[in-house]
Structure 1
């Protein structure tokens, strides 16, 4: 990896590795080491692309190993916080390179399993807009250790209302209280069954989404708008929730 980075005179390394546990954590740590050995990289983007996981959790500890390694280097580094990806709520006509993981609101099947009261703040961003903010941030003279961007900050209840308006009918809605989330359970949506549990087992997906639900209640998706790159790069006009949901009209 070091030879490839050096041969191509790479200045900035952007990690998009899926860092969830020790093996993937080791891969990203090795990428940091390769960047140092190569000599040409000056900046490094550690893989988050969502929200920060709590310390003491498997994912949080896995990602912390990268930061520990980065702090031993002279690399300037950052992490991107962008909330939940809007790609997961669009129809198949929405351009995306990610495999959507439908969470909380299943627009296709007009169903919802919302964490908490539904009034907790949530940030959503389309992947292509995250890329646009990242591209703009490459020109910043100094990086903060955490950077923020968003397409829209709203609530699940407001999202639900916009989805119902777009589909022209009421959804079948359930709310998952904190106690249920703490037991590692969420409302199963039709889209989860359509996935066939190929990427995650049913139990693993339930537990992962229960963690996300607790993050919602903890305010981890409540990104600080005053620190967001949206203010610095006003020329970037990200897609909003309604922009994506409007694609469902007539379907």
Structure 2
């Protein structure tokens, strides 16, 4: 049994905490900027931290073996420094997306992730190792209410329903149909619930590589829309973009200072460039977990949403 610190209180952090509580005997604490009575009510220990106070961070990390971060930016950099000073053995940075090796320099979507990985490399002489969990696109992007409904990506400009690739409810899609090389655009995807299950199961492995890759499904963006159309029983209004037309849309968003649209177009360009795709899901082969397939997820969450809508309809 080891002690784990989950850093952050967003939806992914809560999935990880729940998996730890229900699937392991490991002790864990949650580090949060402010008190969280809702999480405390679950019986989870929540420690309030100040990321600008290195001494406070080191104190709260005392005795922790593994840190799992779901925060980014300057707070994560401070967390990395404090973890090394507190002799944390393993650090999981807040990546949980496409392979970092595919991310270009000066990426608008970076949010200091590159700086965090560089800092982790620099601190390896202290004895603290790090591993990235690459999971591709989260299924929750296509759920009712988007990722924000699961308290994920609240400040990402792609957190709301319909912000990325398709709007299931309104049967609309904007897809990068072909890459710049003329190949169908493919992505890997996983539910946040399954990401948490994989992370916790990996704690039992004897060694960790630099990067664990996991996925629930892998398919072309055209197949994503086709599955949605089959579930809906109706065709979607689909706009298929080329790499050049996406760049034109990005240029226009910048010209009119539409930051939200600029970020959304960047995500579509990243998709077209294959930055959410990978062939070898090494963690899938090491752990006996059967992740939920995308089609099953989409049916489940939208069927549940339809049931809620019917229950809440006037006169029922």
Common fold: TM-score over 0.5: yes
CA RMSD of aligned residues (A): 2.6
* Equivalence for 2:65: 11
TM-score, with length taken from structure 1: 0.81
What is the CA-CA distance between 1:56 and the residue it aligns to? 2.4
- Is residue 149–residue 228 contact of structure 1 (8 Å, CA) maintained in 2? yes
User: 1:93-116 deviations in whole A, cap 9, x for unaligned?
Assistant: x98342544311110111101113
* Equivalence for 1:196: none
- Is residue 89–residue 244 contact of structure 1 (8 Å, CA) maintained in 2? no
State how far apart, in whole Å, the 2-side matches of 1:213 and 1:116 are: 10
Runs of 5+ unmatched residues, structure 2: 1-56, 307-316
State how far apart, in whole Å, the 2-side matches of 1:121 and 1:181 are: 17
* Equivalence for 1:191: none
What are the within-5 Å matches in structure 2 for residues 83-98 of structure 1? 83-91=136-144, 96-98=150-152
What is the CA-CA distance between 1:12 and the residue it aligns to? 0.5
Runs of 5+ unmatched residues, structure 1: 189-200
User: 1:124-144 deviations in whole A, cap 9, x for unaligned?
Assistant: 110010011111112222222
Which protein has the larger Cα radius of gyration, Structure 1 or Structure 2?
2
* Equivalence for 2:28: none
CA shift in 2, pair 1:185/1:32, >3 Å: same
CA shift in 2, pair 1:16/1:249, >3 Å: closer
State how far apart, in whole Å, the 2-side matches of 1:183 and 1:222 are: 24
* Equivalence for 1:66: 116
Q: Tell me: higher relative CO, structure 1 or 2? Use CA pairs within 8 A at least 6 residues apart.
A: 1
State how far apart, in whole Å, the 2-side matches of 1:56 and 1:221 are: 18
User: 1:38-97 deviations in whole A, cap 9, x for unaligned?
Assistant: 22x1000111111233222244482222122212222110112111110121236x9834
What are the within-5 Å matches in structure 2 for residues 24-173 of structure 1? 24=73, 26-39=74-87, 41-51=88-98, 52=100, 53-60=103-110, 62-73=112-123, 74-91=127-144, 96-98=150-152, 99=154, 100-101=159-160, 102-117=163-178, 119-173=184-238
State how far apart, in whole Å, the 1-side matches of 2:116 and 2:109 are: 11
State how far apart, in whole Å, the 2-side matches of 1:110 and 1:185 are: 23
State how far apart, in whole Å, the 2-side matches of 1:228 and 1:109 are: 36
